[in-house]
A and B are shown apart, each in its own frame.
Chain A
């Protein structure tokens, strides 16, 4: 069964059409990369799929694991197995990472009819995932993203993904802001968390460098609110060599 089926999706932001008939299908076990010029609508796609207020769907449909995704509230989308890695993770003063993540994980489990994690179980899980991303557990005791460097925020996104264990991860420029070592650690983290026959990833990126670690099965070019070209991994190399204008024209 298809995991995510986006059909002719149209969405407005502040009354301005940004997604203009975008179609894309993702099957379990696949890794897709979306590349495209600044302002093309890549983050808008992620936010629209995540259900962010202000992103108004004006046409088309999105099916996720057999459900109408667009009918669900953001937290229900998460419980259904969707994870959105933010291009700009939000700082939330005074709210501790571990407290929030435990409540979030347990809310998701409740939504799926599963038993909540005990405090001990959760800490063990958090420690394991932080270790995977080589992140100091002390950072997770701090307020959500507050005072984190750009790269630390991205790494923390991956720790959250590890803890929440989604079916589909949409990762918006997870590689931007990462140093060379962190890029490798995050790439390997994505593989270890998400490379599975029943999971899928949609990577939004500008560069080949992340794709060297997380090898995509398909690469798409998003421009002007639509997928204008799709291909295999070689398309990313071609884009890097020749630029969007030459490839898309």
Chain B
């Protein structure tokens, strides 16, 4: 495209919860392309641990029988947006494991558009969001299963945890299915830390911040299970969780 697209507004569904002012300083966002060749296996880890605003738009095409494993840790930016357009060919497999950890007035969002275009492809997306103070965390996840993409298995597990009532979590799963024999499981939930669990841990001697950190570590664990660099991601997340429980109200 030679034309520069206009800065979106909050009326655009995909930008409904964005920090438009911050986005304006980054606009236009160049689209990055990743193509995974037929039968190939590829992985990518994105760690946003800087406070600078950032927006990325990545188009990923996963070829026939290919697999792509993407992990995202968004833990630091004042505004952080990751938008993914994923296209899956026959028998392709796509995994997204993401954790968004925010505090202050930070706004983090992940927007995914996963297209199953060929039969028998699988996709799994696990998104965990932890929000303290006045932070906003958003996950918009669309799954489209095209005509003929029979035997699709698409899974979405989306959970957010609010450490303070002043934080805001948005989640919108969207399913469009035009094929047969499709398995599409999705669930999203927003919650708070289990008070009974917290008291149990504290009664054994853990200070409140450590007890919370331990429970949050467990909460986000699934996003990084099986990642090529699971340990480094978990470590980085843990540091950030420590900040969240201490900056929380």
Q: Is the beta-carbon distance between A78 and B218 smaller than 8 angstroms?
A: no
A230 to B54, CA, bound (A): 69
Contact of A73 among B202, B214, B218 (CB under 8 A): B202
A103-B207 Cα distance, complex, nearest whole Å: 10
Are B204 and A100 within 8 A (Cβ)? yes
Judging by beta carbons under 8 Å apart, are A94 and B218 in contact?
yes
Check A108 for interface membership: any CB of B closer than 8 A.
yes
Across the interface, do A73 and B208 meet the contact criterion of CB distance under 8 Å?
A: yes
Which chain B residues border A74 with CB–CB below 8 Å?
A: 199, 202-203
B191-234 interface code vs A (CB 8 A; 1 in, 0 out): 00011110111111111101100110111010000000000000
Q: A53-B195, A95-B215 are in contact. Are A108 and B205 (CB under 8 A)?
A: yes
A104 at the interface (CB under 8 A from B): yes
Asked whether, in the complex, the Cβ of B202 is within 8 Å of the Cβ of A92, the reply is no
Residues of chain B contacted by A107 (CB below 8 angstroms): 205-207, 210
CA A94 to CA B234, docked complex, whole Å:
13
Q: Identify which of A86, A108, A111 contacts B200 (C-beta below 8 A).
A: A86
Given contacts A53-B195, A75-B207, contact A104 B201 (CB under 8 A): yes
Checking B200, B206, B221 against A94 with a beta-carbon cut-off of 8 angstroms, the contacting residue is B221
Q: List the B side residues contacting A50 at CB < 8 Å.
A: 199, 203
B137-177 vs A: 1/0 string, CB under 8 Å? 00000000000000000000000000000000000000000
Q: How many A-B contacts are there with CB distance less than 8 Å?
A: 77
Complex: chain A residue closest to B211, CB-CB: A75
How many residues on chain B are close to A (CB under 8 Å)?
Answer: 22
- Do the beta carbons of B219 and A75 come within 8 Å of each other? no
Question: Is A90 a contact partner of B204 (Cβ separation < 8 A)?
Answer: no
Q: Does A52 contact B (CB under 8 A)?
A: yes
Give the shortest distance, in Å, between A171 (CB) and chain B (any CB).
13
Decide if A105 touches B197 in the complex (CB within 8 Å): no
Q: Give chain A nearest CB distance to B126 CB in angstroms.
A: 13
B203: A residues at CB distance < 8 A: 50-52, 74-75, 77-78, 84
**What's the minimum C-beta distance from A108 to chain B, rounded to whole angstroms?**
4
Closest-by-CB residue of B relative to A52 is B199
A135: Cβ under 8 A from any B Cβ: no
Given A92-B215, A95-B218, A100-B214: A105 in contact with B205 (beta carbons within 8 A): yes
Contact B204 A101 (CB under 8 A): yes
**CB-CB under 8 A for A100 and B201, given A75-B207, A107-B210:** yes
- Residues of A with C-beta under 8 A to B194: 90, 92
Is A79 interfacial (CB 8 A cutoff)?
yes
Contact of A89 with B by CB under 8 A: yes
Fill in one digit per residue for A80-97: 1 if any B CB lies within 8 Å of its CB, else 0. 000010100111111100
Distance of A77 Cα from B202 Cα, bound (Å): 9
Which residues on the B side are within 8 Å of A205 (C-beta)? none
Q: In this complex, what residue of A is CB-closest to B199? A: A52
Which A residues are CB-close (under 8 A) to B215?
92, 94-95
In the complex, the answer to whether A92 meets B201 with C-beta atoms within 8 Å is yes
Taking a contact as CB atoms under 8 Å apart, the answer to whether A95 and B205 are in contact is no
Q: Does A160 contact B (CB under 8 A)?
A: yes
A200 close to chain B: CB less than 8 A: no
Complex: A100 Cα to B208 Cα, angstroms: 13
Chain A nearest CB from B235 CB (Å) reads 14
Most chain B CB within a 10 A radius of its CB, from A73, A86, A107, A164: A107
A92 with B200: in contact, given A53-B195, A103-B210 (CB under 8 Å)? yes
Give the docked Cα–Cα distance between A101 and B203 (Å). 11
**B95 → A minimal CB distance (Å):** 20
A78 to B203, CA, bound (A): 6
Inter-chain contacts of A143 with B (CB < 8 A): 218
Taking a contact as CB atoms under 8 Å apart, the answer to whether B205 and A78 are in contact is: yes
Known: A92-B215, A100-B214. A75 touches B208 (CB 8 A): yes
Interface residues of A (CB under 8 A from B): 50-53, 73-75, 77-79, 84, 86, 89-95, 99-101, 103-105, 107-108, 111, 143-144, 160, 164
22 A-B Cβ contacts within 8 A?
A: A50-B203, A51-B203, A52-B203, A74-B202, A75-B202, A75-B207, A75-B211, A84-B203, A90-B194, A90-B196, A92-B194, A94-B221, A95-B215, A95-B217, A95-B218, A99-B214, A100-B214, A103-B206, A104-B206, A107-B205, A144-B200, A164-B204
